[in-house]
Amino acid sequence: MRILLADDHELLRRGIRGLLQAKRRWRVVGEARDGVEAVAMAKKMKPDVVILDINMPNLNGLEATPQIREAAPTAKILILTLHESAEMVRRALEAGAQGFVLKSDLAQGLVTALKEISRSKVFLTPKASDIVVQEFLRGNGAEKSAAKPEVTPTLREREVIRLLAEGRTNKEIAAALGIGVRTAETHRANIMKKLDFRSLAELIQYAINTGMVARSVPGVSVLRFGG
């Protein structure tokens, strides 16, 4: 696994690099100090995974994520942050990240996160998952699920929802279903509009609640309740 690491704190980069170097088949191919460097290095190096801190100068991690997705379409993106908020998780997933790790969970969660997102799964550390679930239980997600009870996705839409919940890109969905990328994009847009969702996090939670994906199956097994 070729990894690009982006964080403006050298000590944190050094610590993360130490964790990763213990893995025989993993290699840190570059280190960026801000989002602008991260985008440029991703375009040049085409890493398998990019680890991005949110709070970086010039271009933060959330702003850099869609640019990296464009510069290196096959790269998986893992967001690191100190911020414990459901809004931040939603924004990271919506920007195109496949994983979200709180820095307080770094020692226990980083290696697992990298393994999971490298397999095209969505990963949230238990604490981040709890934050999202607690907001859902307070009303935001529950209201969304109950907002249009009469709306039922078609069979094809259910297939797309399942793949989206597993962290697949539009290109990967198109390949899995034997359709064009533009058709996959259209399905995604129609699903979000039909179910009145504004973020991928809401769609993932909907997929779990409706049984389209199980809490313990590949792709969403990291969305654990209660840690």
Q: What is the C-alpha to C-alpha distance for residues 77 and 65, in angstroms, rounded to an integer? A: 7
Type and span of the H or E element at 32: strand 27-32
Q: How far apart are CA 121 and CA 183, in angstroms?
A: 22
* Count of beta carbons in the 10 Å neighbourhood of residue 107: 10
Average pLDDT across each block of 10 residues of the chain; the chain has 227 residues. List them in order.
92 87 87 94 95 89 91 92 78 85 83 87 77 64 46 84 82 90 89 82 76 50 35
Domains detected in the chain: 2-132 (3.40.50.2300), 135-209 (1.10.10.10)
What is the pLDDT, as a whole number, of residue 210?
73
Residue-level pLDDT at 142 = 45
pLDDT on residue 135: 67
Token pair, residue 150, equals 């009469």
Rounded Cα–Cα distance for residues 177 and 170 (Å): 11
